[in-house]
Amino acid sequence: MCVAAPMKVIEVEGDTIRAELAGVTKDARLDIVDERPEVGDYVIIHAGFALHRIDPEEARITLELWKEMGVIDEIPE
């Protein structure tokens, strides 16, 4: 039930956004989001509401950790 995939924001209008993942678009409200997203950001959407704006810097830290662990050679762009 807590399935929530990262989707790319393609439109922001007032308190709603439209986001896209692999050709599927979804509208979501921004009432309870932690940080207001802009077009091009990735967000986690759950049951019609954006919950979280994904922080690219935090994502990068995870991948850097993988590099340190020796499971990847290069951090993907």
Partner 1 sequence: MKYLSEYRDASVALKMADRIKATSQKPARFMEVCGTHTVAIFKYGIREVLPEHVALISGPGCPVCVTAARDIDKALKLAQIPGVIVTTFGDMIRVPGSKSSLQHEKSLGADVRMVYSTMDALEIARQHPEKKVVFLGVGFETTAPTIAAAVVAAEVEGIKNFSVLSSHKLLPPAMDALLSGGELDVSGFICPGHVTTVIGTASYELVAANYHTPCVVVGFEPLDILQGISMLVSQIEAGEARVEIQYRRAVAPEGNVNAMKTLFRVFEPCDAPWRGLGVIPKSGLALREAYRSFDADALFDLEVPDCPEPPGCKCGDILRGVKTPKECKLFQTVCTPENPVGPCMVSSEGTCAAYYKYSQF
Asked if 39 is part of the footprint of partner 1 (rule: CB under 8 A), the reply reads: no
Asked if 54 is part of the footprint of partner 1 (rule: CB under 8 A), the reply reads: yes
Q: Which of 49, 40, 47 is nearest to 20 (CA)?
A: 40
d(CA 73, CA 68): 9
Nearest distance in Å: CB 50, partner 1: 10
d(CA 32, CA 76): 31
d(CA 76, CA 59): 11
Nearest distance in Å: CB 48, partner 1: 3
Asked if 5 is part of the footprint of partner 1 (rule: CB under 8 A), the reply reads: yes
Interacting residues toward partner 1 by CB under 8 A: 1-6, 21, 29, 31-34, 42, 44, 46-49, 51-52, 54-56, 58-63, 65-66, 69-72, 76-77
